[in-house]
Structure 1
Amino acid sequence: MKRVIEQSFSVPYTYPVIFSENIFDAAEESLAKLLDNGKGGKAYFVVDSGVADTHPELIDQIKTYAAAHASKFKLCAEPLIVPGGEASKNDPQFYEKVVEATHLYGIDRHSYIVAIGGGAVLDMVGFAAAVSHRGIRLVRIPTTVLSQNDSAVGVKNGINSFGKKNYLGTFAPPYAVLNDFNFLLTLDDRDWRSGISEAIKVALIKDLDFFEWIEANASALAAREMAPMQELIVRCAQMHLDHIAGRDPFEMGSSRPLDFGHWAAHKMEHLSKYQIRHGEAVAMGIALDSTYSFLKGMITESELDRIISVIASLGFQLYHEVLSGEMLFKGLEEFREHLGGQLTIMLLTKLGVGQEVHEMDQTLILAAVEKLKAFQADRLIAN
């Protein structure tokens, strides 16, 4: 006897992305309301060491805030401080510490893990939360431009393994995302700038008006004006959320339009031992794929010049020595493998419009690298 029973079901996901300031002031109840499960929620905080160092008062603020809202939630243990950046994702001991805490402190599926930090720490903590008890409620509090407008609002979590970025990971939506713009005030210039590359990315493939807004506001953004940065973050986050709500939020297919510029970026990060930050690598990756699009005859030289001008005016490098042909080709193959076998790369047909291709010409890739090298040299001479 042969039988086939086919099951089909859908699960709605809803989570708020909140933009606020001074979230640990007792009068600001956004976080307390998120952590209130109706019976005194249990919360465990994991904090990026870079954030803890820059904000030495933060741990005490968390404790004071919890005491002020004791009827809504309680801290189940001292906050855990973990290294910031890719170090938190490269060494499994840190995600294991979070998993161990769920065991030691009885953190269950009705409890909350609150991650405060940049995108890498949020990725790592999210992975630990997703695999513990098959999913513990995760509240993300992103503290960088890159995490507030991109990584924290999405459904991905992960750690690095086998020398590959995000090799181990899950698709698990957060319980909530709570952005505090005040964390941006203490970023160094590199971290302030890095997140803007993700906005350039999504604008170039989806929204000409947004790209032209970034173009018009590039000087203000580079000068660290807060009002345009807030606008950029909210607008970019909304576009990422709109994409997630589309047809393939868990990336079951090979189409990953939001990875425009990323196939090379991931390899550059790894080759530089993560001295190149993600947003910096993405900026160079966007420049590379835009230049390739021009050499392929897909966009005009004037369109390429506008893209390069925006990237450069924001202070990004256009070229780095790790952009060698052999390593890039290896990165392209790893990206194909990551997609499940079929290579799918997003290129540009004009500003604001992306088009997927399934093969890349190695000769044109090398030519694009050389052109970026020339762009970078011209920029150094001009300065």
Structure 2
Amino acid sequence: MTTAEMTVFESMESNVRGYCRDWPTLFDTASGAWLRDSQGRDYLDFFAGAGALNYGHNNPVLKAALIDYIARDGITHGLDMSTAAKRDLLQAIDRVLLTPRGLDYKVQFPGPTGANAVEAALKLARKVTGRTTVLNFTNAFHGMTLGALAVTGNAAKRAGAGVPLSHVNSMPFDGYLDDADELSWMERALDDGSSGVDKPAAVIVETVQGEGGVNVARPQWLRRLAELCSARDILLIVDDVQMGCGRTGPFFSFEVAGITPDIVTLSKSIGGYGLPMALVLMRPELDQWTPGEHNGTFRGNNPAFVTATAALEHFWSDGTLAESTAAKGDRIQRSFTELVDEYPGLSTRGRGLVQGLVFEEASEAGKVCHIAFEQGLLVETSGADDEVVKLLPPLTITDDELDHGLGVLTRSVAAVRGGH
């Protein structure tokens, strides 16, 4: 990007902007797993809109559905009015997602972001139970609004609230205490009247903590957590905003554990095309909202309903995408294992197409991402100290594209370790 092209961003846009500082170029077009900047340089995308572009940029199937809808003057903004686009989406959710999995959920359309969905879920849990406390987990990330920040672990993000974040208690996530039994502590705290932990309305959990460093909860840990909550009349909320929509393989990330959460939050790729949309799924008996009790102007993004329906019907009518995602995850794991074997101080963790390369020397992760960008690869860091190189490529990426990106990443690691 030239100095002249940078001027408008530097002079007019808030200092809060972040990703553009790590990837200082002017992006112009995008297709599939690739972006192109204004100078005609291509970048392979291992970021996918932080998980909002699971089906890639400008997916042709979704684009065609969107163009057709707009061309016929379909409703674009509808608040919570009944529209044909919403009807089609609700029918697709039932037909493609819920019925085949034996799930019985009502669907709520909150505002269009993941944080909106989390806020709605927390409010609903407190309303239904009459209790105020929510349990969250170490290294959790649930959004940047006050309720979502309260159940987020990162101290720097929490500090941005500017006010006390209350009515929460943090518990150790799976693996946080190394060889200790994290859920035994949680169980003891809940059952001991002198622990100082009030009986909560809900527990909110990510099955894989993406922003927290690609921390993967074991299926048996998730099952035990679900049993612990059920036995104590505590609602279990699974935040599937980033890990849902097939990121870990199956559509819902909790499917691997065989559990049925009381409430599920979805956003990011649920809109299919990168259009803003969010959902809250809840057991029918929990739907105790009164009309208009939780609302928002942009909870009726009908173009996103259209692309979401097309995505469900095209990608989730069979198990092809889930199988492909698992195979590509294995492909990344093999590449990462070679790096771990070659370079001391590295480890790897992940599931499906969310994979993390962990650096004992945290600063090396950022250096790897910087070199990768210079070589035409977009990849970000995560974790408490930005010690993890986190891969979130589109689920539709080809094997050749994946191998190309892994090659760039391998060379970037070598450059950092070799001092080049």
Q: Which has the higher helix share?
A: 1
Tell me the TM-score normalised to structure 2 length: 0.35
Tell me the TM-score normalised to structure 1 length: 0.38
Higher relative contact order (CA 8 A, sep 6+): 2
